[in-house]
Structure 1
Amino acid sequence: MKKMCLPLLLFLCQTLLAQQLYQMPEGVRQSTISTFENINGIKNAGGKTNKTGKGNAFEDLKAGASKTLLNVQGAGIIQRMWFTVRDRSPEMLRSMRLRMYWDNSSKPAVDVPFGDFFGFGLSKMIKFESALFSSPEGRSFNCYIPMPYKTGAKVVITNESNNNIELLFFDIDFIHLVKPDPKALYFHAYWTRQKTSALGSDFEFLPAVKGKGRYLGVNMGVNADKRYADTWWGEGEVKIYKDGDDKLPGYNGTGSEDYIGTGWGLGTFTNMYQGATIANDSTKQYAFYRFHIPDQVFFNSSFRGTIQQIGGGDLELVRKLIKENVPLKPVTVQSEAGFNRLLDNPLDINDAAFPKGWVNFYRIDDYSATTYFYLDKPVTNLAALPEVSERIR
C-alpha cells in the first residue's frame, strides 16, 4: 500500500480504490465531523444540549445572517459535506452563499451559490448521483470532493435572501493529520453568469488563473433565449487554454453535448462523470456537468475555460429568424452538397443558391457555471460572487 507521501488530494481515492479497508493509513490523527451538535468536532464535546437528547440537530439561518460551520487549525482533509434545508427553491439556493477558506486566508477559495455548488445547475433540484455529488431523493446536498489544507480550514454559509431559513442541517466530515503534505493542492470553486454578450463572443466559465493545478470539471446552466424558437442552442465547442495557449487553445471540443459524452441533442441523464440534470425543450432550460476524473486535466502555469455560443437550425427557420431581426450570424452549413465554412467562404443566406441544410450560427443565451479545480495556492485573483440580483434574475 502506498503511504501518505502521495498528494493528499488523492488520499480518498487511494482509500476507496487501493487501500485495504482493514489497514490504518499513516499520518491520520483523528477522524470527526462538525455539526450543530458539536461545531469543529471537538473531542468529548458532542451533544451537550438537552441532556444529550438531540437538542441541537439544526439551527435557523435568518435573512442576512452567516454561520461558521467549521473553523479548525492544523493540517487535515475535508472528506464529505452533507446539508439539507426546508426551503429548496431555486431562488433560495441561489441566494445562499457558501464560502471556504484555506490556511487562514482572508479571501475564500470557494465563493459560490449553495445550490449550484452541489451540482444543481440553475439551482433546480433532482434526484441524482455522480462521482462527486449526490442527492439520493432530491432533498439533500452531498459533496465527496477531498479538500486538503495545511494550517487551517473555515467554512461559512450566508443567507443573502430576504427570507429566514427555519431548518438548516449539516455535517462536515474531516480528518486531522499529523502533518501536511507539501505537495497537496488546494480545492477551489468559482461561479459566474453571463446573461447577455456581444454576438460571437464565448462564455468564459473560468477566467485565467495562474499557477499549477488540476481542472476537475464544471456544471453549467443555460437559459436559452426563446427568440431563437425551436433551433438548437448547443453547437458551441468547449475550449481550454492552458500553459501558454493564447489565441488558440490546445484543448478544443466539438460541441456542447459532445463535451458531456452524448450526442445529437440533449436529454436528461446522470452518470458518474457526466450528465444533464435538466433538458427541457419547452422552457428552454438546460443544466449539465462533466467531471475530469479518469481523463485528468493538469496545467503547469495557467488555465482558462470557455464555451462558444453557437446554435443550429434548418435553413428556412434560420432565414425566418434573420427577417425577424433575431441576433445571429451563420458560421457553417451542412447540406447534401457538403460542408461549407461560411466564415472562411461567405455566402448570402438569402440567395436562392444557398445550400439547403443545417445552419450553425452564433447566438446569445444566458449561461451560468460552477467550475471546480485544484491549485497550488489557497487564493486566486478571481472575482467575488456577484450580488444576489445577478444570480436569481
Structure 2
Amino acid sequence: MKIMLSSILLFLTIAQYTCSGQELFDMPKDKITKWISFENRSGDKGKGGIENKGAKGHAFNALKAGESIDLMDLEGSGTVRRIWMTFNDRSPEMLRAIKIEMFWDNSETPAVSAPIGDFFGIGLGQRLPFQSQLFSDPEGRSFNCAIPMPFKKHAKITITNESNQPLNQLFYDVNILMEAHDEDMLYFHSYWSRANKTKVGKDFEILPKVTGKGRFIGTNMGVKTDPELETTWYGEGEVKMYIDGDSDYPTLVGTGTEDYIGTAYGQQTYSHMYQGSPIANTEKGIFAFYRYHIPDPVFFYDDISVSIQIMGGAGKDKVQEFIDKGLNVKPVTIHNDLTFIKLLELEPEVKLRDPSLPNGWTNFYREDDVSATAYFYLDQPQNELSEIAPVKERTADLPKK
C-alpha cells in the first residue's frame, strides 16, 4: 500500500510539471532565477551574502511597532514562485496585526491586503503543522506559499507591523523567476474580511463582487461559533458563487460547509492538497478550513462574487430551546427519514412548536464570528474591493493560541 501511494504521489508531481508545459529536464531560454532576502535585497547576480564577509551577516531584521518594510521591490517581468517566512512572535494578536500587501506593475492600490497569518492558509490567529497545494507549515513555525504570482513591469511586497509590540526577528525569502509574459496574463489577488457577528439570514461575503476576467482560486475560512448556541453544529451553510451577471440566485452552489471542503456528516481535522480542516474543535467552537479550486477551475469573464450561508443544525427541541431563550435564530428546514419540510415556503408561516411538524433535524440561520481570505486571479493589477479592516477589528476576541 505504501509503495502504491508513493507511486501515485510521484505520478501526480510529474504530471503537475508536465501539464504546466515544463518538463523537469527541459532547459528553457531567457529565464533567470532570483532569491530575495535580507542577505540579497535586490536579488542581483553576485550580491548575496556580502555582509560579515559572507558568514551569515544579515539573516533577519527587526520590525518596530508601526513600521513597514518592503520584502521586495523589483523592476522587470517575472513570476513570484515561492514565499517563505518566519518570525519570533506568532501570537494570535501578532498574526492578525501584521499586514501583508502586494502591488503589481506600479499600481497604487494593493492586489493583496491581508493579515499575515490568514493569508498563509490558516485563520483565527492560529498556527500549526499542515500542508496543502498552495500553502504549508511543516512544524507550525513557518509560512510557505507556492502560488505563482506573475508581473510584467514591477512587483512589490510589503509587510507592516500594526501591533503595539516590536517584532524582533523577521526572516524571509522570495523566490522569483524572471521571464516574459503575454497579454493574456492574469494577476494574483487576495481579499480578507471578517464579521465579528454575522446577521441572521444574511450570507457572509467571502469575495464581494469583482468585475473583470479571471479565475477564483479558493478560500480559507475561520469560524468562532456563538457560545450561546452551545456545541450545536455550525456548518450547514452552502457556498454560492455568482458568476457573469448572476443576480438573485447563483450559478454555482454547494450543499453544506463541510461538503464544500470535501468531507461529510460533520468535520474533524485533516489537511489534503486541495481541501482541509486544520482546526476543528467543537468544544471550543473554533474551525479553520480551506478549499482550493485547482482540479476544478472556476473561471469568470465579466464578474464574480462568492458567499456562504451562516446556518447550523440541531434537533428540533434544541432549536426551540434557543428560541424560548430569546436567541436570534431562524429555522429554515426540518427533516427525518420520512419527510423534508421547507419551513420558509410554508404559507401561512408555521412556528417550530406547531404539533403538525415532525420531530427531526432542524437547520437554522444563526450568528457566528466568521472570517475569510479569498484568492483569485484578475486581468488587471488592481481591484475595487474595500480596504482591510483596522487592526483593532482584526484582533478583537481572537481564540487563544
Q: TM-score, normalised by structure 2?
A: 0.93
Listed as ranges, the matches of 1:9-20 within 5 Å are 14=17, 18-20=21-23
Q: 2:33 aligned with 1:51, yes or no? A: no
1:348 corresponding residue in structure 2: 351
| Counterpart Cα distance in 1 of 2:17 and 2:71 | 27
Matched-pair contact (CA < 8 Å) for 1:337–1:355: no
Q: 2:42 aligns with which of 40, 43, 66?
A: 40
Listed as ranges, the matches of 1:358-377 within 5 Å are 358-377=361-380
For structure 1, list consecutive stretches of 5 or more residues without a partner in the other structure.
1-11
| Counterpart Cα distance in 2 of 1:172 and 1:187 | 15
Instruction: Give RMSD over aligned pairs.
Output: 1.3
How many positions carry a matched residue from both structures? 380
Instruction: Report the CA distance between 1:373 and its aligned residue.
Output: 0.3
Listed as ranges, the matches of 1:224-303 within 5 Å are 224-303=225-304
1:120 corresponding residue in structure 2: 122
Q: 2:176 aligned with 1:174, yes or no? A: yes
Amino acid at match of 1:382: L
Q: Secondary structure at the match of 2:33?
A: strand
| Counterpart Cα distance in 2 of 1:272 and 1:149 | 26
Q: Secondary structure at the match of 1:258?
A: helix
For structure 2, list consecutive stretches of 5 or more residues without a partner in the other structure.
1-14, 397-401
Matched-pair contact (CA < 8 Å) for 1:185–1:374: yes
Instruction: Report the CA distance between 1:32 and its aligned residue.
Output: 1.2
Q: 1:146 to 1:349 in 2, by over 3 A?
A: same
| Structure 1 range deviating more: 333-342 or 277-286 | 333-342
| Counterpart Cα distance in 2 of 1:15 and 1:144 | 17
Instruction: Report the CA distance between 1:13 and its aligned residue.
Output: 5.1
1:379 corresponding residue in structure 2: 382
| Counterpart Cα distance in 2 of 1:71 and 1:281 | 43
1:119-177 Cα distance to aligned partner (Å, 9 max, x none): 01212111011000001111110000000001100000110001111111000000112
1:26 corresponding residue in structure 2: 29
Q: Secondary structure at the match of 1:166?
A: strand
Amino acid at match of 1:87: D
1:318-370 Cα distance to aligned partner (Å, 9 max, x none): 11111100101110001244000000114221123321010001111111000
Instruction: Report the CA distance between 1:183 and its aligned residue.
Output: 1.3
Instruction: Report the CA distance between 1:17 and its aligned residue.
Output: 5.7
Matched-pair contact (CA < 8 Å) for 2:199–2:366: no
1:325 corresponding residue in structure 2: 326
Instruction: Report the CA distance between 1:25 and its aligned residue.
Output: 2.0
Identity of aligned residues (%): 49
| Counterpart Cα distance in 2 of 1:286 and 1:198 | 19
Q: Secondary structure at the match of 1:322?
A: helix
| Structure 1 range deviating more: 261-270 or 228-237 | 228-237
Instruction: Report the CA distance between 1:197 and its aligned residue.
Output: 3.5
| Counterpart Cα distance in 2 of 1:45 and 1:291 | 37
Q: Secondary structure at the match of 2:318?
A: helix
| Counterpart Cα distance in 1 of 2:19 and 2:159 | 29
Instruction: Report the CA distance between 1:18 and its aligned residue.
Output: 5.0
Instruction: Report the CA distance between 1:198 and its aligned residue.
Output: 2.8
1:133 corresponding residue in structure 2: 135
| Counterpart Cα distance in 2 of 1:340 and 1:86 | 53
Q: 2:184 aligned with 1:183, yes or no? A: yes
Instruction: Report the CA distance between 1:314 and its aligned residue.
Output: 0.5
| Counterpart Cα distance in 1 of 2:197 and 2:117 | 22
1:307 corresponding residue in structure 2: 308
Q: TM-score, normalised by structure 1?
A: 0.94
Matched-pair contact (CA < 8 Å) for 2:241–2:304: yes
Matched-pair contact (CA < 8 Å) for 1:121–1:277: no
Matched-pair contact (CA < 8 Å) for 2:214–2:379: yes
Matched-pair contact (CA < 8 Å) for 2:231–2:285: no
| Counterpart Cα distance in 2 of 1:324 and 1:274 | 37
